[in-house]
Amino acid sequence: MQEELNILIQAQYPLIYLVTSEEERAERTIATLAQMKPQVRRVFIWTVTHGMIEYGQPRQLTQHNTVSPEAAIEWVVRQREPGIFIFKDLHPFIDAPATTRWLRDAIASFKGTQKLIILMSPVQEIPIELEKEVVLIDYPLPDLSELNQVLSNQLEQSRNRRITTEGREKLLKAALGLTRDEAEKVYRKAHVKSGRLTEEEVDIILSEKKQLIRRNGILEYIEEDETIDAVGGLEELKRWLRQRSNAFTERAREYGLPQPKGMLILGVPGCGKSLIAKTTSRLWSLPLLRLDMGRVYDGSMVGRSEANLRNALKTAESISPAILFIDELDKSFAGSSGSSDSDGGTSSRIFGSFLTWMQEKTSPVFVMATANRVERLPGEFLRKGRFDEIFFVDLPIPEERQEIFNIHLNKRHRDLARFDIEQLAKVADGFSGAEIEQALIAAMYDAFAQDREFTQLDIIAAIKATLPLSKTMTEQVTALRDWARQRARPAASSVAEYQRMEF
């Protein structure tokens, strides 16, 4: 990014929009670039609270009458010397006709003057009048080399210079995805809490990192205790995932394998789609980030939703390799095609931005999405190349239902010899895995209320009292099966799929 910004400055681009929340770090970068030959420039910074001030000077030396955006831009136009003029958080004022006009006048006057304006803000908001004039740059979060400087400073201050190379690497990777300021604070916290800063404090840093991600409100750090063995059936899907358990390692790159992009899991509700996504995190030993698309949308300000998505994806990339989990993708983007009539096109822009990111991303972020209603998904999601594979999860056959009963009875520490699993699986014909679990829980509640152990008959009674989704939504399940038969890969084994077709 620094090299790109330097090229734009040397090429005399008049207007640059720098999207970042790290003002001080970005200012230092710009100030460094301004001193590079062949053209050295002075740097000025504008804020709505202090007006225009030269970088590095006290706030008392503000330029008079430059607090308003229009007056500040007019002052910039009048300057004869080369300079870089940073406007912080101009986005609330940029739509004002006078501000937009002054910016366009400034751009026109900058030709051959070695002057440029940099708009710095965490929110991207560009009026249509400036779209052809501005260059947009996302300021990246600190990489390992910059975090290494932060860590070295903290180790120096704490006089803790004895740390192994492996320990340093763990501390650095634990802080990936944090801003420089956040990394400084979390390293200090780890040192204050334990009186030292070694690889033993990685858990403290990760704990704080999870809180920072959750504070974002859009990404959620998910920790799953279950392993992939807790998923009944779906042997073909589990085999595919196990084959790729080392896909993000350097050994895989040396072998010539590309990084996996992602997978889409379609199927009947309650058949383990979300659980398989969550347990993959443990199988691959990667962090699992859930993207809540409902929280992405923000109607309080134009451009806020797009900025929310961009920041969430940027955070996911910064801590990669990672799994980005999107549950019920069909609900998230169902209305994107006609959103211009309902939300001013926000959904369409969000959808387009997400598709572009999926197509062009080079960072090892594996997108794991689930969906129940395939007819609601935009066709662009389903074309080849968007996902590595599209799997279809159907209702479990008898053998799979037996495995599901075994898993849930074992989880509740019950003796399997007391139950006729084959009979239970037969009675639960047409039930999903989630419905089987809920029937078992209902049987346990009935027996618990009578102060006794639950039995085979209790489970059968609970099953017969439940009307499964496959009966209440027969047409939808049939339509989904018909679609998936030619377009998706079965998540179950070939034997199970054959038995399902026979059935």
Domain ranges (residues) in the chain = 2-138, 144-215, 222-393, 398-429+433-467
| SS3 assignment, position 249 | coil
Alpha helices in 120-163 (DSSP H): 144-157
Percent of the chain that is helix, strand, coil (3-state, to 5): 50, 15, 35
Architecture, CATH, for domain 2-138 = 3-Layer(aba) Sandwich (3.40)
* CA-wise closest residue to 419 among 460, 456, 459, 468: 456
Q: Report residue 204 as tokens.
A: 């403290």
Looking at residue 161, what is its pLDDT? Answer: 62
| pLDDT < 50 stretches in the chain | 339-340, 342, 495, 498-499, 501-503
Architecture, CATH, for domain 222-393 = 3-Layer(aba) Sandwich (3.40)
| SS3 assignment, position 268 | coil
Looking at residue 498, what is its pLDDT? Answer: 45
Distances (CA, A) of 232 to 122, 222, 407: 45, 21, 7
The answer to whether the 2-138 and 222-393 domains have the same CATH topology is: yes
Q: How far apart are CA 421 and CA 399, in angstroms?
A: 10
* CA-wise closest residue to 1 among 253, 324, 318: 318
Looking at residue 502, what is its pLDDT? Answer: 46
Residue the block writes with tokens 């404090």: 201
Do residues 226 and 278 lie in contact, with contact meaning Cβ atoms separated by under 8 Å? Answer: yes
pTM of the model: 0.69
Looking at residue 155, what is its pLDDT? Answer: 83
Angle at 191 between CA 189 and CA 197, to 5 degrees: 130
